Amino acid sequence: DPSPESTFVCPIIIEDDRTGLDTETIRRALRDNLLYIQGKLPELASKNDLYMALAYTIRDRLLQRWLTTQQTYLKKDVRTVCYLSAEFLVGPHLANNLINLGIYEQVQKAVSESGLKLEELIAQEEEPGLGNGGLGRLAACYLDSLSTLEIPAIGYGIRYEFGIFDQEIHDGWQVEITDKWLQYGNPWEIARPEAGVEVKFGGYTESYTDENGNYRSRWIPDYVVKGIPYDTPILGYRVNTANTMRLWKSEACESFDFGRFNRGDYYGAVDNKVHSENISKVLYPNDEPIQGKELRLEQQYFFVSCSLQDMIRIHLHENPSLNSFHQKWSVQLNDTHPSVGVAELMRLLIDVHHFDWDKAWFITQNTFAYTNHTLLPEALEKWPLSIFGRLLPRLMEIIYEINHRFLDKIRIIYPHDDGKISRLSIIDESGEKYVRMAHLACVGSQAINGVAALHTELLKKDVLRNFYELFPEKFSNKTNGVTPRRWIVSSNPRLTFAITEKIGENWIKHLEDLRGLENYVDDGEFRDSWRRIKYDIKADLANYIDKKVGIKVDPSTLFDVQVKRIHEYKRQHLNVLHIVTLYHRLKNNPNLDITPRTFIFGGKAAPGYFMAKLIIKLINSVAEVIDNDPTIGGRLKVVFLPDYNVTFGQRVYPAADLSEQISTAGKEASGTGNMKFSMNGALTIGTLDGANIEIREEVGAENFFLFGLTTEEVYAKKAAGYNPQEYYYHNEELRAVLDLIGSGFFSRGDSSLFRPLVDNLIYDDPYMLLADYQSYIDCQEGVGRAYKDQEHWSRLAILNVARMGKFSSDRSIRQYCEEIWRVQPVKIELPDYIQANA
Ligand code: Z57
């Protein structure tokens, strides 16, 4: 809480140097920050010093907007969205803040004084890799849209000291390097140690009777950890709203250390400090499947407890009690990772604020909403009771009580159906006992959603069928979206300019306006300039590829791109089967007329995921053999670009001709890369999976390369006893391709290297590559033919961009606001001594 002195009204005199947006003022501010923040004379400043000076200059310009936003929210006592997520993959801040503030050009000029290009300073920023892939990146796009739509919101998460590892490739294999993103400091965050909170772990509970004769429970923890919030402003596009991303860092609790220290347990005290600091040390690098490691559960409870305590503190600052908590806060659970929040809010209301059970449950249920992001059974999170009960004994009790009351109600609806009861139970008692986090989230939330139309249907029919039957009204779909500010304006300035020249700049905030481009598909000059732009971007990427991996690629070839986490269900190896098929055809018929292609891959494998790592090795091995084969004569090139991340995504989406979205139908919940490609004028080759279905619906079936089994066909084939060997024996070309890989041809004669991969496909093939192989190959032939007619291809590309309006995260967030959160925009007025945005 603010100290009493803070009510003393003191007009703060703002130096013009920290708010002015004109070139001259920014020029002065840069020099000022270089000297007084970085402590460098211009002559001795490194590129990084200049980046830091610029970053602080921009942060200065955000601060008034940020503080005014927070003050307005407090004064107006607004309803606020809290997005709880274990990951926020925000990407570099600098360029986005320049664009959102509308001062890119001024800053460009101001920077040129230093003899550097703004683009070089932008490239200097180390991206915060606080996420694995789609789920964390979605959270970041949603924060951008929340601010742009002027919705009061806080993103709560973990400030990992080490984010997703940096990937290197050694001899074709992935090697993981620690991500030291904080080593040169982070100019975008402000620590708020005064808002620290404490979180309990371990120990036991005991019951007692309070002064009013009420039975209560007390949690005597084994250790207590302190959470320190680090805040980063998230500015909206051309608005004054700057919301907060509040990430928690774990620290040792001195008071607790002192107790041990004084008892002479020096080692114990230091050990506790080490353990406390470990909680926010490192991001778990698995994208889909969660492994049940205790530290991961500690991370989850840590950030959820910190965040809920923080909301309660803010709430009680403006309200007499927590009775209205659910009216002021809507808390979104990004997957089940924060779902222990359901039990934690119950604990805080009952144990700390002395609510009775029913009132606490009413508030809790009306506070939370849950987004599911996966259909993979192995990715549905569950915690062994043994671990859960030991680490969070009081929460375990509360979950038992929630479950008990829930199942009592269920028994009335399904009187003699024990099977139903055990399928719905929050506790899995079929073998070793587990807490099922998705069940806790479903029972404790007012709304449940999937992330694409197909995904939501499959949730209702399959994964969450029993819950859908119980409360169908809680379920809805919210198809994912991505922010056009980062994924078009910032990453693709040339395309942005070309679009804006024709239809104005409204599309940046209203992506549906891209429809206006349809008027220009028949304009030959426009198509010409469209192609020139794509070619120039591809030439830039070709230079970058040469610099990074020393491979020369030709920008006039078809750029066929697959960038995403490496996972068997995403089927990067199906893409490889196509490449080897083309290679095999060219070997047998060197004069074959094929469309020259450059295949570009990028993506990280979970460090413990053997098959994914082997797929990376396979891509690199095939790349090397093809590159060194003179008969190919550059008609095929394969490039694996190491260390795929947000920064590289911004480079590669604009340069793609073809987007590979080839997951087994029914496996990819939505996908969001699919949207980024298409918005940048790539055509998609894809299955009827996730959001691909909706993209195809929007852009038109004739502008989308579709192949493969449908979800129903996949299910039916599985049920009928899928046998991949039939495909292997009946398809000669497929057999030749698999045999070539299995023979050691791509592994210097070592026929054992890729055996596990080839055998898995022939004898098991859980993701049905062999069933989809022929359909994929045929479809790719159509792609190659289509690319030969460049005028035709340009038409399709323009139509793709023109029809992608639906996939702006602004649309997704509007739907969440109206249908789940019931929150409204709040305009932020700047004090009049602040220079307004451009
Ligand atoms: C993750 O990135 C996603 C789902 C998960 O359950 C976990 Br854990 C991590 C992804 C899905 O695989 C994508 O299909 C989806 O587009 C993305 O989440 C955002 O919803």
Atom of ligand 1 nearest to the CA of 137: 19
Give the DSSP H/E element, type plus range, for residue 153. Answer: strand 153-158
**Pocket-testing residue among 373, 451, 567, 694, ligand 1, by greatest number of atoms within 8 A of Cβ:** 373
Evaluate if residue 400 carries a pLDDT over 80. Answer: yes
ipTM: 0.98
pLDDT tens digit sequence for 198-252: 999 999 999 999 888 888 999 999 999 999 999 999 999 999 999 999 999 999 9
Strands 558-563 and 166-170: unpaired
The pocket around ligand 1, CB under 6 angstroms, is made up of: 132-135, 138, 287-288, 335, 373-374, 379, 451, 480, 668-672, 690
- The average pLDDT across 263-272 equals 76
Closest CA to 607 of 89, 138, 178: 178
Long-range contacts, 214-223 (Cβ 8 Å, 24+) = 214/354, 216/351, 216/354, 217/350, 217/351, 217/394, 217/397, 218/351, 219/347, 219/351, 219/393, 219/394, 223/253, 223/256, 223/272, 223/275, 223/276
Ligand 1 centre distance from Cα of residue 661 (Å)? 14
% pLDDT > 70, the chain = 96
* pLDDT score of 3: 52
Ligand 1 centre distance from Cα of residue 374 (Å)? 6
262 vs 485, residue with greater confidence: 485
And the tokens for 496? 């942005």
* pLDDT score of 832: 81
Give the DSSP H/E element, type plus range, for residue 450. Answer: strand 447-450
* pLDDT score of 460: 98
* pLDDT score of 7: 54
- The average pLDDT across 16-37 equals 90
pLDDT tens digit sequence for 490-501: 999 999 999 999
- The average pLDDT across 713-721 equals 98
- The average pLDDT across 622-635 equals 96
Tell me what the pLDDT averaged over the chain comes to: 95
* pLDDT score of 806: 98
Q: What is the pTM of this model?
A: 0.97
DSSP character for 280? T
pLDDT tens digit sequence for 91-130: 999 999 999 999 999 999 999 987 889 999 999 999 999 9
Evaluate if residue 487 carries a pLDDT over 90. Answer: yes
Ligand 1 centre distance from Cα of residue 379 (Å)? 10
DSSP character for 274? H
- The average pLDDT across 439-468 equals 98
Atom of ligand 1 nearest to the CA of 374: 6
Atom of ligand 1 nearest to the CA of 669: 14
Ligand 1 centre distance from Cα of residue 838 (Å)? 36
Q: Could you tell me the pLDDT band of residue 290, with boundaries at 50, 70 and 90?
A: low
Atom of ligand 1 nearest to the CA of 290: 8
Report how far residue 752's alpha carbon sits from residue 730's, in angstroms, rounded to the nearest whole number: 24
Q: What's the distance, Cα to Cα, between the start and end of the chain in Å?
A: 36
* pLDDT score of 792: 98
In order, the DSSP letters of 688-747 are: S-TTHHHHHHHH-GGGSEE-S--HHHHHHHHHT---HHHHHHH-HHHHHHHHHHHTTTTT
Q: Could you tell me the pLDDT band of residue 9, with boundaries at 50, 70 and 90?
A: low
Q: Where are the alpha helices (DSSP H) in 605-681?
A: 610-627, 646-652, 673-679
Q: Could you tell me the pLDDT band of residue 2, with boundaries at 50, 70 and 90?
A: very low
* pLDDT score of 4: 46
794 vs 831, residue with greater confidence: 794
* pLDDT score of 260: 64
CB 104 within 8 A of CB 21: no
- Between the alpha carbon of residue 806 and those of residues 452, 511, 760, 801, the distances in Å are 12, 7, 39, 11
Ligand 1 centre distance from Cα of residue 551 (Å)? 32
CB 769 within 8 A of CB 574: yes
Strands 223-235 and 242-252: antiparallel
Within 10 Å of residue 14's Cβ, how many Cβ atoms? 15
With H, G, I as helix, E, B as strand and everything else as coil, classify residue 22.
Answer: coil
Evaluate if residue 256 carries a pLDDT over 80. Answer: no
262 vs 724, residue with greater confidence: 724
Atom of ligand 1 nearest to the CA of 372: 6
pLDDT tens digit sequence for 466-480: 999 999 999 999 999
**Pocket-testing residue among 287, 337, 645, ligand 1, by greatest number of atoms within 8 A of Cβ:** 287
Report how far residue 510's alpha carbon sits from residue 799's, in angstroms, rounded to the nearest whole number: 17
Ligand 1 centre distance from Cα of residue 335 (Å)? 9
AA identity, residue 284 = Y
Tokens 């040390």 belong to 281
Evaluate if residue 585 carries a pLDDT over 60. Answer: yes
- The average pLDDT across 648-658 equals 98
**Pocket-testing residue among 135, 332, 480, 644, ligand 1, by greatest number of atoms within 8 A of Cβ:** 135
* pLDDT score of 17: 67
DSSP character for 258? H
Report how far residue 700's alpha carbon sits from residue 798's, in angstroms, rounded to the nearest whole number: 12
Evaluate if residue 451 carries a pLDDT over 60. Answer: yes
* pLDDT score of 432: 95
And the tokens for 698? 């929007």
* pLDDT score of 501: 98
In order, the DSSP letters of 377-434 are: GGGS-EEEHHHHHHH-HHHHHHHHHHHHHHHHHHHHHSTT-HHHHHHH-SEE-SSS-E
Report how far residue 256's alpha carbon sits from residue 459's, in angstroms, rounded to the nearest whole number: 45
Tokens 């073809």 belong to 658
* pLDDT score of 566: 98
Positions marked catalytic? 373, 564-565, 570, 672, 676
- The average pLDDT across 577-584 equals 98
* pLDDT score of 51: 97
pLDDT tens digit sequence for 327-338: 999 999 999 999
β-sheet with 427-428: strand ranges across: 382-384, 434-436, 427-428
* β partners of residue 252: 225
Max distance between CA atoms of the chain, in angstroms, equals 92
- Phi/psi region, residue 437 (left: phi>0; alpha: psi -120 to 50; beta: rest), is alpha
